[in-house]
Amino acid sequence: MPYSAEINRTNPTCFVFLVDQSNSMLKPFGSQPDKQKAEGVADAINRLLQNLILKCAKSDGIRDYFYVGVIGYGSKVVSALGGGLAGQTLVPISSIANNPLRVEQRIRKVDDGAGGILEQRFKFPLWVEAKAAGRTPMCEAFKLAKQYLEVFLGRFAGCYPPLVINITDGMATDGDPRQDAQALQKLASSDGDVLLFNAHVSTAQTLAIEFPSAEAALPDNFAKLLFRMSSKLPARLFDAARADKFPIQPEARGFVFNADLVSVVRFLDIGTRVAQSVR
Amino acid sequence: MSRNVPCLRWHAFHTHKRGNAPDEYEDAFACDPAAARFAVADGASESSFAAAWAKLLAEGFVAANGQPWRRLDWLAPLRQRWAGEVDPRPLPWYAEEKREQGAFATLLGVVLTPGSWRALAVGDSCLFRLRGGKLGRTFPLAHSSNFGNQPALLGSRGRPADAPPPGIHRARGRWRPGDRFLLMTDALAEWMLRRHEQKQRPAEDIDQLLAESAPQDAFADWIEERRNGHGLRNDDVTLVVIDL
At B53-105, the pLDDT tens digits run: 999 999 999 999 777 777 788 899 999 999 999 999 998 889 888 898 899 99
CB B194 within 8 A of CB B231: yes
Q: Quick one: average pLDDT of A9-36? A: 87
Share of residues in chain B with pLDDT > 90 (%): 78
- DSSP class of residue B16 equals P
From chain A, the residues in CB contact with B164 under 8 A are none
pLDDT tens for B160-170 read 554 667 789 99
Bridge-based pairing of strands A255-257 and A195-200 is parallel
Is the pLDDT at B2 greater than 50, yes or no?
Answer: no
The mean pLDDT value of chain A amounts to 89
Q: Which range is most confident: A146-155, A256-265, B2-11, B227-236? A: A146-155
Is the pLDDT at A73 greater than 60, yes or no?
Answer: yes
Is the pLDDT at B51 greater than 50, yes or no?
Answer: yes
Is the pLDDT at B144 greater than 90, yes or no?
Answer: yes
pLDDT given for residue B1 in this prediction: 44
Which of A4, A59, A63, A104 to probe the B interface (max B CBs under 10 A)? A59
d(CA A31, CA A26): 15
Amino acid at B190: E
Is the pLDDT at A274 greater than 90, yes or no?
Answer: no
* Closest-CA residue to B238 (of B7, B21, B19, B43): B43
Which of A103, A274, A276, A279 to probe the B interface (max B CBs under 10 A)? A274
CB A23 within 8 A of CB A74: yes
Its domain, for residue B78, covers 7-243
pLDDT given for residue B6 in this prediction: 62
d(CA A177, CA A142): 8
Q: Look at chain B and report how many structural domains it folds into.
A: 1
From chain B, the residues in CB contact with A6 under 8 A are 234
From chain A, the residues in CB contact with B185 under 8 A are none
pLDDT given for residue A68 in this prediction: 97
d(CA B206, CA B192): 10
Domain CATH number, residue B29: 3.60.40.10
From chain A, the residues in CB contact with B42 under 8 A are 272
* Closest-CA residue to B190 (of A272, A1, A243): A272
Is the pLDDT at A273 greater than 80, yes or no?
Answer: no
Contact: B155, A278; criterion CB under 8 Å: yes
Is the pLDDT at B186 greater than 50, yes or no?
Answer: yes
B1 located within any domain: no
Please tell me the pTM assigned to this model.
0.86
Contact: B150, A55; criterion CB under 8 Å: no
Bridge-based pairing of strands A195-200 and A163-168 is parallel
Of A9, A10, A57, the CB nearest to B95: A57
d(CA A224, CA A178): 12
Report the complex ipTM. Answer: 0.80
Is the pLDDT at A272 greater than 90, yes or no?
Answer: no
Is the pLDDT at A153 greater than 70, yes or no?
Answer: yes
**Distance of residue A113 Cα from the nearest chain B Cα, in angstroms:** 5
B191 confidence band (pLDDT: 50, 70, 90): very high
Q: Quick one: average pLDDT of A267-277? A: 68
d(CA A200, CA A14): 21
**Distance of residue A106 Cα from the nearest chain B Cα, in angstroms:** 12
**Chains A–B, number of C-beta pairs less than 8 Å apart:** 91
Share of residues in chain B with pLDDT > 70 (%): 95
> Other C-beta atoms within 10 Å of B74: how many?
15
Q: Which range is most confident: A17-26, A111-120, A263-272, B122-131? A: B122-131
pLDDT given for residue A37 in this prediction: 85
B142 located within any domain: yes
d(CA B58, CA B41): 6
Backbone angles phi, psi at A233, to 5 degrees: -70, 125
Domain A13-267 adopts which CATH fold? Rossmann fold (3.40.50)
CB B116 within 8 A of CB B173: yes
CB A135 within 8 A of CB A72: no
Q: Is B19 on the interface with A (CB under 8 A)?
A: yes
**Distance of residue B165 Cα from the nearest chain A Cα, in angstroms:** 8
B25 located within any domain: yes
**Distance of residue B122 Cα from the nearest chain A Cα, in angstroms:** 12
B46 confidence band (pLDDT: 50, 70, 90): confident
B2 located within any domain: no
